[in-house]
Amino acid sequence: MVLQHVECEHLGVFEGLLIRRDISYRYVKLYEGESIPDLGPYSGVVLLGGPMNVYEEKEHPFLRQEDKLIKSALRRGMPLLGVCLGAQLIAKAAGARVYRGRQKEIGWYTLYLTPEAGSDRLFQGLNAEMTVFQWHGDTFDIPDGGVRLAGSSLFPNQAFLVGAAAYGLQFHVEVSAEMVREWVECYRDELAALSGSVDPEALLRDADRLAAGLNVNASRICENFVSLLK
């Protein structure tokens, strides 16, 4: 099950990897009012990003539905992969605090894996440092009993494992260069408000230069997540 919060934030390069592995999946388009189905037929859940915040349940009632679904999945030990907003939703459902960071992190940044990530199933085969794409303003605490797996210089909590197989990734590993171009257009008002601190043209230039390397890491993470599905 793939929970999608806004049209421009989709599976990206993960989609082609799932197709090549013959893994069937279903988008649930929450932004179009689709209801979240029962977990029964599914072996895992991917929760994608979006511009809303986890604490905006009044404005986006589907966030409350997702919270219930995540808690149910955690009780079952079902594999979860949350990206950006998806990671924040998992953190919140697991009892951790989600809150606004001291500044927005938008662009290409170095990600540092923790020693614990070296033996983790999702991060197996990845280098201790890698360049990833970021687009967020909120952050989270690591849930009680969770394991911190990655950080950046601006946001120390960039990835975690909680429960049997629920992973939150604050960064965007799923993006292609084309997807970054799509987001620059989709979120042009946000970028305009940040004029002087974020350069859209630099985002695009760096995407053309760095996305291929990121896609290699996306392939490894996707393969590792698929191996958790039963």
The catalytic residue positions are: 84, 172, 174
Residue given tokens 């599976």 in the structure block = 11
Query: Residue 193 corresponds to which tokens in the numbers above?
Result: 């408000």
Residue 5 amino acid letter? H
Kindly report the number of other CB atoms within 10 A of residue 102's CB atom.
9
The answer to whether residues 47 and 86 touch, using CB atoms and an 8 Å cutoff, is: yes
Secondary structure (3-state) at 28: strand
Secondary structure (3-state) at 14: helix
Distance CA 225, CA 230 (A): 11
Query: Residue 229 corresponds to which tokens in the numbers above?
Result: 């599905």
Alpha helical stretches, state H, the chain: 13-20, 62-76, 85-93, 177-186, 188-193, 200-226
